[in-house]
Amino acid sequence: MGDGDGPTRKMNSSEATAFNDLQRTLKSAIPQVPANYSATYGGFDSREIFQGITPEQMNRMAFTAKYTLNPGVRESGQQTALMDMTKGSPDQQAKRAALAAKAEELKQARKHTRDRAEKERIRAELKKINEEENALTGEIAANASANWQGNMQQVDRALPAKELSVKVLVNQNVHVQDVARPYQASGTSFAFDQSEKCQDSGNYCITLLLGNFTREKKISGTTQYTLRNVNLGVPTKPRGMAVIVTGPKEKAESVRNFLKQIDVGKLQALLPK
């Protein structure tokens, strides 16, 4: 997006050069794709600009990176949990092993006896052991069924965040929700985190403002931070940016750790001093 309204055009050479430098640096500064994740990107290939924009104006741009946990990771965790549940508790596993050992001992004894009465006694005892094994298997299955939901929730809690995202708003004023709290982050003009009213419900997000932002005014539950324009002669050169990192509320620590992977120094180096 650019200042003003109207039709768009292709970027000229100087605009495209500045844009390419920006998107290339952004791509290298944001987190690389973690193991077991896939990523989709938005805004990095845009080459359109408003036709009426002038060199001293700011071209408003937005870039997104969405990192999604591969489905197989959760399925693998569920499969492992299912296998563990069907094994039973340690006591149940010990009981099953003892019954199996006893059955094997009786089978060997039956092989080595010719006494018909002894064979009959062993047969009856093996039948009793088989009934105990079946009862134990049923008990384990019943426990697994009763605890299925809780165990799956435990699997989900142990998994990495299903989705993390980074959004970078360049050359734009930013509205920060009043529910946001100040956040400690070096190399920023302002920083906030919030567990409510993020891009999507149920998410936790951290916002970093880089550049010459001024806190202006409250507007219906938000505060506007206005970016000061500097005439750089090319509208696609960045004057300031907002970096927003988002993830599930229950994985807030993962979001904070993901933020640490962003090279804020690289982003700051793009901005006017």
147 and 165 share one domain: no
Residue 23 has pLDDT above 50, yes or no: yes
123 and 181 share one domain: no
Domain that holds residue 100: 74-156
188 and 212 share one domain: yes
- Report d(CA 212, CA 196) in Å as an integer: 26
Among residues 193, 180, 197, 188, which one has the least CA distance to residue 253? 193
Q: Provide the pLDDT for residue 242.
A: 97
Q: Write the DSSP symbol of residue 48.
A: E
* Residues ≥6 apart with Cβ < 8 Å to 228: 211, 212, 213, 214, 239, 240
35 and 52 share one domain: yes
The answer as to whether 3 is a domain residue is no
264 and 205 share one domain: yes
Q: Provide the pLDDT for residue 245.
A: 96
Q: What is the mean pLDDT of residues 37-55?
A: 92
Helices (DSSP H) in the chain: which residue ranges? 13-29, 71-87, 90-111, 116-146, 148-158, 252-260, 264-269
78 and 144 share one domain: yes
pLDDT digit string, tens, across residues 90-149: 888 888 889 889 888 888 888 888 888 888 888 898 889 898 888 888 888 777 777 666
pLDDT band for position 152 (cuts 50, 70, 90): low
pLDDT digit string, tens, across residues 67-76: 999 988 777 7
The answer as to whether 1 is a domain residue is no
Q: Provide the pLDDT for residue 108.
A: 87
pLDDT digit string, tens, across residues 210-266: 999 999 877 788 899 999 999 999 999 999 999 999 999 999 999 999 999 999 999
166 and 261 share one domain: yes
- Report d(CA 214, CA 193) in Å as an integer: 18
Give the residue, 58 or 1, on which the prediction is more confident.
58
Domain count, the chain: 2
Provide the 3-class DSSP secondary structure of residue 221: coil
Predicted TM-score of the model (pTM): 0.73
Provide the 3-class DSSP secondary structure of residue 213: strand
140 and 170 share one domain: no
The answer as to whether 43 is a domain residue is yes
Provide the 3-class DSSP secondary structure of residue 169: strand
The answer as to whether 232 is a domain residue is yes
190 and 259 share one domain: yes
Among residues 270, 257, 266, which one has the least CA distance to residue 67? 257
127 and 164 share one domain: no
The answer as to whether 199 is a domain residue is yes
23 and 143 share one domain: no
Q: Provide the pLDDT for residue 6.
A: 72
Q: Provide the pLDDT for residue 153.
A: 66
